[in-house]
Amino acid sequence: MNREAWFTDKIQEVGGKFIETCSTELWIAPASFLQHNWGIIEKVNDEYTVIFFTELGQVFDTLIFESISEAEEGLKRNYFERWNDCMQEGFVEEPELPLYELPNNAPSNQGCYSSGKHWIKKDKNAGGAEDAIKGLLRGESIGKSEYWAEFMEIKGDVFRFDTRVY
């Protein structure tokens, strides 16, 4: 039995299913050391669904947006970059396809982004980088309370930080 047939049998054996996608534009975000989360934007009727998956093609969450620009802004706000635009090429291998989804009761299908726990939403009252930095200096959290922020770069009203789970 070849690898593809074995894989297909195992997915079906646990009640999983394969997901067909049309999009070829991949998005990537660091999740932990040498681990990345991937995303693609699929148009479904009049909405745009971001499908999140692992390097092995396992779908673990989805989010629905009203427009492609809203989906792209959300991905960028949450540290995703277009695969073709970032410097990850050559260092990180593209994920294995096709995508597959395990049953809803699988531990990895608990909606880490859709639950809001690990998704930074658009804040219309945000005061920019200066207010965020002042808040951090006062010991306040920005975005993800369970994350620790290490400032990498501060230039004008733009700042970057690295997040790690502890």
pLDDT, averaged in runs of 10, over the chain (166 residues): 73 79 88 86 94 89 95 94 75 79 66 84 60 59 43 43 44
Which CB contacts under 8 angstroms, 24+ apart, belong to 132-136?
Answer: 132/159, 133/159
Cα dihedral 22, 36, 111, 9, rounded to 10, equals 60
Instruction: List Cα–Cα distances, 88 to 12, 16, 82, 118, in angstroms.
Output: 32, 30, 10, 22
CA distance 111 to 63: 9
> Which residues does residue 163 pair with via DSSP β-bridges, in sequence order?
149
Contact 115, 144 (CB under 8 A): no
Q: Which of 127, 117, 125, 123 is nearest to 159 (CA)?
A: 127
Instruction: List Cα–Cα distances, 165 to 20, 33, 34, 144, 156, in angstroms.
Output: 32, 11, 14, 10, 27
How many residues would you count in the chain? 166
CA angle 151, 95, 63 (to 5 degrees): 70
**pLDDT for res 116:** 83
**pLDDT for res 136:** 59
Domain ranges of the chain: 3-120, 123-166
Which CB contacts under 8 angstroms, 24+ apart, belong to 33-41?
Answer: 36/88, 36/92, 37/80, 38/95, 39/75, 39/80, 41/68, 41/71, 41/72, 41/75
